[in-house]
Amino acid sequence: MSIAYWCVVIAAFLPFLGTLAAKIGGRMPVSANHNPREWLDQIGGWQKRAHWYQLNSFEAFPAFAAAVLIATELQAPQARIDQLAMAFIGFRLAYFVCYVADWATLRSLVWFGGIACTLWLFLLGA
């Protein structure tokens, strides 16, 4: 399996980084597990931002996975696909840090880096 495909696997599980941070950091009571979305709507601070990271990661994943698959199918250079996929993962990890730390401007720039990697992957096959 290529590095890029491993990055797709990692990206599929990255949202749960935000989930764990929000729930553990917010000290989710066992009783809240009956209505976790309701509980997540009530938390604030960095835990809320970790939850928002989770939501954004679920949104970013499909395009990234499709881009890796399409670039591979169209036989773009595998080394470039791997580089862009690893960069995407790096940007998403940095995005988590920026989101939790409330560094809004840097977070937006890092988010754009991840989107640029995805777009570049799509363009590799053109």
Tally the residues of the chain.
126
The per-residue pLDDT for range 10-69, each reduced to its tens digit, is 999 999 999 888 888 767 676 667 777 888 888 889 999 999 999 999 999 999 999 999
Assign domain 3-124 to a CATH class.
Answer: mainly alpha
Q: Which helix (H) or strand (E) holds 88?
A: helix 78-101
The per-residue pLDDT for range 74-101, each reduced to its tens digit, is 999 999 999 999 999 999 999 999 999 9
Domain ranges of the chain: 3-124
pTM of the model: 0.93
* DSSP notation for 19-78: HHHHHHHTT--GGGGGSHHHHHHH--HHHHHHHHHHHHHHHHHHHHHHHHHHHHHTT--H
